[in-house]
Amino acid sequence: MGRVSGLVPSRFLTLLAHLVVVITLFWSRDSNIQACLPLRFTPEEYDKQDIHPLPLCRLVAALSVTLGLFAVELAGFLSGVSMFNSTQSLISIGAHCSASVALSFFIFERWECTMYCALPAVTEMTLFVTVFGLKKKPF
């Protein structure tokens, strides 16, 4: 049981670290949007890259989807569905830790707009549906 109990706080901390980095990216997205545009751009091009929903790689849309998936994962974690599942915890810790580092570089190095990975939220939704929808015990 000692192995699982060490994963729970680690998972919670990596979730919160990733959430803080995403919120920081919302506040400082101006330089990243400019990195996605040519050297000379119009205000319409800037607005299109910032808030226009199509295609899905627009920054505000991608960050909004990220926050929605955070809500799904935090709901599954805090409800206890996957809190003590060591497989889900290891996937979540690895994905959120690497995403926190990558998004930190994304902010500080002004990388171009990219797509975000939804692996932790997808596995969390699978567990959530399995436990509550099918009334089965998790792994």
9-24 confidence digits (pLDDT tens): 998 999 999 899 888 8
- In the structure encoding, which two tokens stand for residue 131, read together? 């436990």
State what percent of residues in the chain have pLDDT above 90.
Answer: 6
Mean pLDDT of 18-40: 82
Give the global pTM.
0.72
Q: What is the mean pLDDT of the chain?
A: 75
User: Would you call 135 helix, strand, or coil by DSSP?
Assistant: coil
Distances (CA, A) of 91 to 2, 11, 70: 18, 9, 15
* Residue in the structure block whose two tokens are 């932790």: 120
Q: Could you tell me the residue ranges of all domains in the chain? A: 2-133
Query: CA 80, 68, 12, 98: dihedral to nearest 10 degrees?
Result: 130
37-86 confidence digits (pLDDT tens): 778 888 888 777 777 655 445 677 777 878 888 888 888 888 888 888 88
